[in-house]
Structure 1
Amino acid sequence: EALAEVGGQGIVVPAAWGMFTYRLPPMVSPRSQAGDFKAVSESLIYLDKIAGETGTKVYLEPLNRYQDHMINLLSDAQKYIDENELENVEIIADFYHMNIEEDSIPTALEEHKDSIGHIHVADNHRYQPGSGSLDFKTSFDQLKKNGYNGFLTFECRVRSENPEQAYKDALAHLKSCLI
Structure 2
Amino acid sequence: MAFKLAAQESTCEGDTLEEKFAFAKSVGFDGIELSGRGNGVFLSRVDELKAARSAGVEMPSAVAHVDYFIGDFDPDRRRAAIDELKDLLGVVAEAGGLGFVTPHAFGLFSRHLPPFTPPRSDEESRRLLLEALDEVAQHAAGLGVTAYLEPLNRFEDFVVNTLADASWYVDEIASPGLAVVADTWHMSIEESDIGAAIRAAGSRIGHVQLGDSNRLEPGAGHYDWPQTLEALDDIGYEGWLAMECGLSGPAREVLPRVADLLRRV
Taking the aligned partners of 1:8 and 1:135, their CA distance within structure 2 comes to 29
Structure number with greater Rg is: 2
TM-score w.r.t. the length of structure 2 is 0.64
For 2:108, the aligned partner's letter is M
Equivalent of 1:66 in 155, 160, 164: 155
What residue is the counterpart of 1:132 in the other structure? 221
For the residue of structure 2 that corresponds to 1:114, the secondary structure is helix
CA distance in 2, matches of 1:169, 1:111: 30
TM-score by length of 1: 0.93
Match of 1:155 among 237, 241, 244: 244
Letter in 1 for 2:216: Y
Residues 30-179 of structure 1: matches in 2 within 5 Å? 30-160=119-249, 162-177=250-265
User: Hey, what does 2:105 align to over in structure 1?
Assistant: 16
Between the aligned partners of 2:115 and 2:175, the Cα distance in structure 1 is 33
For these two proteins, the number of residue pairs brought into alignment is 176
Identify which range, 137-146 or 113-122, moves more after superposition. 137-146
* Secondary structure class of the residue paired with 2:230: helix
CA contact (8 A) 1:10 1:57 kept: yes
Residues 114-156 of structure 1: CA deviation (Å, up to 9, x unaligned):
1001000110110010011011012111211221101110111
CA distance in 2, matches of 1:145, 1:128: 24
Instruction: Determine the C-alpha separation between the residues in 1 that align with 2:97 and 2:145.
Output: 7
How many angstroms does 1:167 deviate by? Answer: 1.7
State how far apart, in whole Å, the 2-side matches of 1:49 and 1:145 are. 29
Q: CA deviation at 1:163?
A: 3.3
1:32 counterpart letter in structure 2: S
CA distance in structure 2 between the aligned counterparts of 1:164 and 1:137, rounded to whole angstroms? 24
Q: CA deviation at 1:13?
A: 1.1
The structural deviation recorded for 1:176 is: 2.0
Q: Which amino acid aligns with 1:23?
A: H
8 Å CA contact 2:141, 2:175 repeated in 1: no
* C-alpha RMSD of matched pairs (Å): 1.3
Q: Is the 8 A contact 1:130 1:174 kept in 2?
A: no
The one-letter code sitting in structure 1 at the alignment partner of 2:135 is: Y
Q: Which runs of 5+ in 2 are unaligned?
A: 1-89
Other structure's SS at 1:108 match: helix
Cα distance change of structure 1 residues 111 and 31 upon mapping to structure 2, 3 Å threshold: same
Stretches (4+) displaced over 6 A: none
Residue equivalent to 1:7:
96
Offset, 1:6: 3.2
